Amino acid sequence: MSASVTAPTLTGNLLTLRDGNTMYFKDWGTGRPIVFSHGWPLNADSWEAQMLHLADNGFRCIAHDRRGHGRSSQSWTGNDMDTFADDLAELIDALDLREVTLVGFSMGGGEVARYVGRHGTSRIAQVALISAVPPLMLKTDANPDGLPISVFDGIRAGSIADRAQFYRELASGPFFGFNRPDAKPSAGAMEWFWMQGMLAGHKSTYDCIKAFSETDFTEDLKKFTMPTLIVHGDDDQVVPIGAAGLASAKLVKGSTLKVYPGAPHGLTDTHKAQLNAHLLAFVQG
């Protein structure tokens, strides 16, 4: 039996989606809207440094928990990029946002790209892709710089065997670059990552491994006609810059690419002052 479809409804900071699932979002500040899409397996809280800085500087900052993550419904189905993009569209439409800057981190960059591909640019003024997965993470004959399927099979295996421990190892190692010789690990950052991951649904996060690794966003990126900022660390051990940031910059005509030397995947935290300054200059420009 198919799920019932109803008109999306807003109740405080919860949006009831057309399929009956609920999406939590936070809405800070006033001014021209900036909408943030988080990475895997995190939630809207992962954007707090950027949201605080930009809201303090006269912008309305909105970030949602993707379905299956954080405080949103843990739906059994719909954990795919098309559905995530449609959920984002429902939020933007329900809040009647216009002249939006869309900012996507990691998997969230894929959600943003697929939104543009499926819903166009009529409400969008700018896009920023931060450590983002587009155009394609998986290594194929046409994408030789991608990662082999064995990498993602390993993530799946780790998630099934001991999801909590897998998140701890991801946070203590490649995500923040804490496995590098000169790194200064933050116990708080690692616990913060783990807490967000464990709030997400097991089924949702498992399905998302396929969604973020095997979805090809090439055609979505070709539809980008708005000013686009691409930020990537050249020491990203999770989403390698060659198949991601550098490739996206070639596909998006007129985009601005900023490479952070030595920066890891989780640069929204490790390089937050630098990123905040670049995002502010971008949205003010």
Query: Would 38 be classed as within a structural domain?
Result: yes
The pLDDT value given to residue 113: 98
Report pLDDT digits (tens) over 96-139.
999 999 999 999 999 999 999 999 999 999 999 999 999 999 99
**pLDDT score at 96:** 98
Q: Is residue 1 part of a domain?
A: no
Classify residue 31: in a domain, yes or no: yes
pLDDT digits (tens, 9 = 90+) for 179-204: 999 999 999 999 999 999 999 999 99
Asked if residue 222 belongs to a domain, the reply is: yes
| 3 state DSSP class of 133 | coil
Q: Return the ∠ at Cα 4 (arms to 98 and 214), rounded to 5°.
A: 65
CA distances (Å), 230 to each of 32, 42, 214, 257, in order? 20, 21, 21, 5
Asked if 175 contacts 122 with a C-beta cutoff of 8 angstroms, the reply is no
160 in a domain, yes or no? Answer: yes
Cβ proximity of 204 and 68 under 8 Å? yes
Per-residue confidence (pLDDT) for residue 257, from 0 to 100:
98
Token pair recorded at residue 19: 């399929």
> Which residues have a catalytic role annotated?
106, 236, 265
Asked whether residue 2 is assigned to any structural domain, the reply reads no
Within 8 A by CB and 6+ apart from 213, the residues are 133, 137, 138, 147, 151, 152
Q: How far is CA 110 from CA 10, 60, 127, 148, 215, in A?
A: 25, 22, 12, 19, 8
Please give the radius of gyration of the chain, using alpha carbons only, rounded to the nearest integer. Answer: 17
Total tally of structural domains belonging to the chain: 1
Q: What's the domain range around 228?
A: 9-284
Q: Any idea what the CATH number is for the domain that residue 216 is in?
A: 3.40.50.1820
Torsional sign, CA 37, 59, 231, 44: negative
Q: What is the block-wise mean pLDDT of the chain (285 residues), using blocks of 10 residues?
A: 70 96 98 98 98 98 98 97 98 98 98 98 98 98 95 98 98 98 97 98 98 98 98 98 97 98 98 98 97
Give the position of tokens 């009647």: 96
- The strand pair at 59-64 and 9-11 is best described as unpaired
pLDDT of residue 2: 45
What is the pLDDT, as a whole number, of residue 4?
64
**DSSP code for 185:** -
How is residue 208 written in tokens? 């998302």
DSSP string, 215-247: ---HHHHTT--S-EEEEEETT-SSS-TTTTHHH
Model pTM greater than 0.95?
Answer: yes
Residue 3, pLDDT score? 55
Residue at 4 is within a domain:
no
Note whether residue 193 is domain-resident. Answer: yes
Angle between helices 149-170 and 187-199 (to 10 degrees): 120
Tally of CB atoms within 10 A around 273 = 9
